[in-house]
Amino acid sequence: MNIQITPKPLKGRIPSISSKSHAHRLMIAASLCEEPCQVHISDMNQDLEATQNCLMQLSDESPVLDCHESGSTLRFLLPIAMALKNQASFFGSGRLPERPLSPLKEELEAHGCTFTTETDISFPPFDGSTLIYTGTGRLKGGAFQLPGNVSSQYITGLLFALPLLKEDSSITLTSKLESSGYVRLTLEVLECFGIRIRQEFSKNPKREQETLYSFVIKGNQKYKSPGEVTAEGDWSNGAFWIVADALSSFSQRTSEPSVSCLNLNKNSAQGDKAILSFVRAVRQTKKSKEKLVFDASEVPDLVPILAVLAASREGITEITHAGRLRIKESDRLATVHELIGSLGGDITELPEGLVINGTGKLRGGTVNGHNDHRIVMSAAIASILCTEPVIILGAEAADKSYPKFFEDFTRLGGEFHVL
């Protein structure tokens, strides 16, 4: 679906959708309980449906799991399935089969699992999906080592799986933990379901200013149902409306709120609540031309909308420690660079980040969504800054995490039509 947006400020109140990160974790924990647990999720999306469908398949003797395009589903369920089954096959579509699984895969192989790209399935079980790996051999406990700066999803998958094993286990991080909020969210969910994990901390001998994490996990634990749980509001997608509020207020030269995103918990472990401090920094320096530096190591998902926010101020903004974005649904450093450039902005792509030379406005133009939900939604919000229409190619990619995005965009006064 290609759409054309007419630039205009947004105004109104919108309820936040359920946090995809929180909902994934609640669904998985609930599925591992012997007793029933009701999980309340206000808004499903393609990634959550992938997890839901895979969890239903885990009851099979040799499950065949289609993770579609959901990296969370694959990275969480890879160790969980191998803790529960002697064989499981993992399929994916879009860019997911190309996205890395190292060093998680190697750690699983060091603890009893074998992975091949061959399968005894004689026909493709899912339209558009390809085999990623077939795993055989039951996962065994022991000492696991992972870097903390590659993917917090690897850590979360092991934290879910290792309590199920007979043996005790430990996870030692060999470098600084990035996206630590996602790991905290995992630990909170595990505690809610009766799983006990001890955290330990030490100084990195190579960099004394860095703290290294380790996790000690007793085996033979059981997930205990709390009865019912509710996924909290999503800061990752709420960030689009928070930035829309800032951009709409700027365009109307008012300090009054234009857009309010409701039901967001400011005490949440979700790291993307940092969008509030980023918006505050931009408001305070909008006309000063002071250089701003945003460290994205804890909040990589915010980078596309942060780049749009940076374009709304006059001056240079640098986004650093964002190299992991190259292995997302798209190479997000390249596609964010293309997004801002296509709309007339001044942006430079670096190996690990971006530099935006903001002027306070954008021209408009055509943006390729690159099948990436965050690029599509960022382009829609960027239209507020534009003087000419914005055309988005492949706008349906927003369905991956936020199927109602353009419905809510319209509710707030946004105007678009399908080309």
Annotated binding site: 20-21, 25, 71, 99, 151-153, 179, 301, 328, 332, 374, 400
**Which residues are catalytically annotated?**
301
Query: What residues pair up with 214 in beta bridges, in sequence order?
Result: 172, 200
Q: Which residues carry a binding-site annotation for 3-phosphoshikimate?
A: 20-21, 25, 151-153, 179, 301, 328
SS3 172: strand
Nearest CA-CA partner of 170 in 132, 142, 205, 202: 142
CB of 49 closer than 8 Å to CB of 97: no
- Kind and range of the H or E element at 73? helix 71-84
Q: What are the distances in angstroms from CA 35 to CA 223, 228, 341?
A: 9, 11, 53
The C-alpha atoms of residue 400 and residue 414 are separated, in whole angstroms, by 21
- Kind and range of the H or E element at 155? helix 152-161
Please count the other Cβ atoms lying within 10 Å of the Cβ belonging to residue 127: 7
The C-alpha atoms of residue 50 and residue 158 are separated, in whole angstroms, by 19
Give the position of tokens 């994490």: 213
SS3 70: coil
The C-alpha atoms of residue 297 and residue 303 are separated, in whole angstroms, by 10
Angle between helices 303-311 and 235-251 (to 10 degrees): 10
SS3 72: helix
Give the position of tokens 């829309």: 244
CB of 300 closer than 8 Å to CB of 179: yes
Nearest CA-CA partner of 329 in 354, 300, 350, 357: 300
